[in-house]
Amino acid sequence: MKLNTVGKNIIRVDSYSKVTGKALYPQDIYLENMLYAKTLRSESPHAYIEVDTTEAEKVDGVVKIFTHKDVPYNHHGVVLHDHNVFCDKKVRSIGDPIAFIVGESEEACIRSMKAIKVNYAEIPGVFDPVEAMKEDSPKVHDDKSNIIYHYKLRKGNVEEAFKNCAVIVENTYSTHMQEHAFLQPEAGLSYVDEDGTIVVVVATQYPHYDREIIARALNLKDEQVRIINTNIGGAFGAREDITMQIHLALASKTLNRPVKVIYNREESFLAHSKRHPMIMKYKTGADKDGYLMAMEAEIIGDSGAYCSWAINVLRKAGVHSTGPYVIPNVKVDSYAVYTNNPFTGAMRGFGATQVPNAAEQQMDILAEKLGISPIEIRRRNIFRVGSKTATGQVLLEGVPLDRCLETIAEKYEEFLELKEFGNLKAEEESI
Amino acid sequence: MFIQLVINGINYKVDIDPNMRLIDLLRDKLGLVGTKEGCGEGECGACTVIMDGESVNSCMVMAFQADGSNITTIEGLEENGELHPIQKAYMEEGSVQCGFCIPGMIMSTKALLDKHPNPNREEIREGISGNLCRCTGYNKAINAAERAIEILKEGAKNEA
């Protein structure tokens, strides 16, 4: 078969505009008669708030300060509607939006923002997801349990299987929160079109969701809102949740003038999700020949103050928790938990990134206990064509893990030789 | 206050605010939005321009400091509708993804090659060490610089 495209180097269609600086991101667009905006954000992780904008409204150049009172349906979220567009009674994490100040210049907005009085009546917060799971822990959302989601995976009988294992390894692993730090900080603008359509210009991963969420919050029909997706300066999952989209649409609709907002880097950090930190308690057992017999895992993901994609992320963590290994008896419980930490959501790998830290270290330790090489224990347990995963999926094709492992095995032998002859340090330095 | 400067070969006399940064002058006042702001504190290099032959973070230079200077931005690289060899190389080598770091990355590369036409890989790394990329990483940017050196040499041969 002759292929016209596959196997050939193709110049990206957008690369010309990007190497010439002609590619437009939202911050690059300037409209006539445009207003600027700033977002007032919570400085407390858990507090009842009272907001007084009286003085701030008098600041020269300020056009309007929007708060929760201006939003018909003050809720949004990609799965649960647990974010407020603007916090009303309570803030649940540092960075929660409280008000949107619109003015003739960015400087006027900043002056006004500083004049807004927020009284924070601090309430006890919860920052450790294990604590948050307890019955008597402070609740992040009203009286609702902090446990958002519990995923259960059951296969065979782990209790029985552990009895017959030659080796058992038990450990708890934890991973940290991670920031996407895409290079283009969030920016956007909004205006009302000639036909009354509210246009929101943003760099987003979900223009269709954005439209729906904006329409719902402002009590509009979907077709009254239009999203223009510009060039996107990196996203990695952090542009899946709404940030300024509803604020902008509300402002341009109310004021009938274009409104633009640009987050600086610090605000960008505050505004979007992070990678879920996970606490992963693992128990893995193998027989005397190094074949895996059973695995039990409890995975707790810190969702921060909002759910975002936590349900999907913790489900995925649970599904991938065995690593690419055949294990006949599996028991997994994964939980997504609210805390007053910054909220977490989608980030490259979506829950499949954290669990290998635990699963693969368990394999290494098992190998060491059994006196076989880390390559060999994997050779005996990896998914191959025809293998069945813990969730019951039979892998019928496209399982090249054996080839991957053999390629690593060659390098691994070289690595061991270098180590033996003491050349490893020199080699490492040359890398 | 008024300052006078040359940007991409054009003389400008512009009225600036004393608290205006060079990047604000370029973007907000003159519409040269190819220069990007990624951090506003000289960390990411997205706002890199060439000022009197040196690469600078335009977020760290006040507009008044640019009085009397000669500045090149990404918009000044094309000549007679022809891409600069560095721009061509970035396209050919697949060094561009989201694109937000690219103008700064290209300007740092240009500042380097203007001074040292034949840097080795290590020197190229050093030359773009002030520019952060979050999509592609740095190998393809280094490959692009090497490709640009080749194109520049071919050009010089053809002219001779």
Closest CA to B129 of B108, B153, B147: B108
What are the structural domains, with CATH classification, of chain A? 129-135+143-178+274-417 (3.30.365.10)
Spatial separation of the C-alpha atoms in residues A101 and A37, rounded to whole Å = 5
pLDDT of residue A428: 53
Cα angle at B131 between B128 and B133, to 5 degrees? 115
What strands lie across the sheet with A147-155, from one edge to the other? A147-155, A329-338, A292-304, A278-286, A167-174
> How far off is chain B from A22, nearest CA to CA, in Å?
6
> How far off is chain A from B28, nearest CA to CA, in Å?
8
User: Which region, left, alpha or beta, applies to residue B53 given φ > 0 means left and ψ of -120 to 50 means alpha?
Assistant: left
Contacts of A431 (CB under 8 A, 6+ apart): none
Task: Return mean pLDDT, chain A.
Answer: 96
CA distances from A405 to A286, A337, A371, B119 (A): 20, 36, 19, 38
Cα angle at B84 between B82 and B89, to 5 degrees? 115
Would you tell me the crossing angle of helices A207-217 and A245-255 to the nearest 10 degrees? 50
Domain boundaries, chain B: 2-76, 85-159
Would you tell me the crossing angle of helices A374-381 and A401-420 to the nearest 10 degrees? 170
Task: Examine the pLDDT at A349 and tell me if it is beyond 90.
Answer: yes
For the segment A108-127, the average pLDDT, to the nearest whole number, is 98
For the segment A205-219, the average pLDDT, to the nearest whole number, is 97
Q: Tell me the residues of chain A between 7 and 36 that have a Cβ less than 8 Å away from chain B.
A: 9, 11-12, 14-25, 27-28, 30
For the segment A347-368, the average pLDDT, to the nearest whole number, is 97
CA distances from A121 to A66, A89, A141, A146 (A): 22, 10, 16, 21
Asked if A176 is an interface residue toward chain B (Cβ–Cβ < 8 A), one would say no
Contacts of A425 (CB under 8 A, 6+ apart): none
Contacts of A339 (CB under 8 A, 6+ apart): A125, A126, A127, A128, A129, A132, A140, A146, A302, A303, A304, A305
Give the end-to-end CA distance of chain A in Å, rounded to a whole number: 41
Locate B70 and state its tokens. Answer: 């000669």
Task: Examine the pLDDT at B160 and tell me if it is beyond 80.
Answer: no
Task: Examine the pLDDT at A5 and tell me if it is beyond 90.
Answer: no
Residue range B2-76, CATH number: 3.10.20.30
For the segment B139-160, the average pLDDT, to the nearest whole number, is 93
Spatial separation of the C-alpha atoms in residues A202 and A191, rounded to whole Å = 12
Q: Which residues of B are less than 8 Å from A24 in CB distance?
A: 33
Task: Examine the pLDDT at A426 and tell me if it is beyond 60.
Answer: no
CB atoms B99 and A185 under 8 Å: no
pLDDT-wise least confident of A88-92, A155-159, A228-232, A420-424: A420-424
DSSP A176-244: --B----SS--EEEEEE-TTSPEEEEE--S-HHHHHHHHHHHTT--GGGEEEEE------TTTTSS-SS
Locate A208 and state its tokens. Answer: 């269709």
For the segment B2-8, the average pLDDT, to the nearest whole number, is 98
Spatial separation of the C-alpha atoms in residues A243 and A417, rounded to whole Å = 53
> How far off is chain B from A431, nearest CA to CA, in Å?
13
Closest CA to A83 of A22, A42, A118: A42
Q: Record the pTM.
A: 0.94
pLDDT tens figures, A253-274 = 999 999 999 999 999 999 999 9
Asked if A185 is an interface residue toward chain B (Cβ–Cβ < 8 A), one would say yes
pLDDT of residue A76: 98
pLDDT of residue B152: 95
Please count the CA atoms within 13 angstroms of the CA of A209 that sit on its side-chain side: 15
Task: Examine the pLDDT at A430 and tell me if it is beyond 70.
Answer: no
Q: Which residues of B are less than 8 Å from A185 in CB distance?
A: 37-38
pLDDT of residue A1: 76
Task: Examine the pLDDT at A427 and tell me if it is beyond 60.
Answer: no
pLDDT of residue A422: 65
Task: Examine the pLDDT at A423 and tell me if it is beyond 70.
Answer: no
Residue range B85-159, CATH number: 1.10.150.120
CB atoms B101 and A22 under 8 Å: no
CA distances from B22 to A75, B28, B31, B103 (A): 40, 10, 12, 16
CB atoms B33 and A28 under 8 Å: yes
Residue A424's pLDDT band (cuts 50, 70, 90): low
pLDDT of residue A418: 79
Instruction: Judge contact between B63 and B16, C-beta under 8 A.
Output: yes
Spatial separation of the C-alpha atoms in residues A243 and A209, rounded to whole Å = 12
Locate A309 and state its tokens. Answer: 């994609």
For the segment A25-48, the average pLDDT, to the nearest whole number, is 98
Contacts of B124 (CB under 8 A, 6+ apart): B109, B112, B142, B145, B146
pLDDT of residue A431: 46
Q: Which of B27, B106, B134 comes nearest A183 by C-beta?
A: B134
Comparing B160 with B104, the larger pLDDT belongs to B104
pLDDT tens figures, B73-129 = 999 999 999 999 999 999 999 999 999 999 999 999 999 999 999 999 999 999 999
Instruction: Judge contact between A152 and A333, C-beta under 8 A.
Output: yes
Percent of chain B with pLDDT over 70: 100
Is the ipTM of this structure higher than 0.90?
yes
CB atoms B96 and A30 under 8 Å: no
DSSP A143-156: TS-SEEEEEEEEES
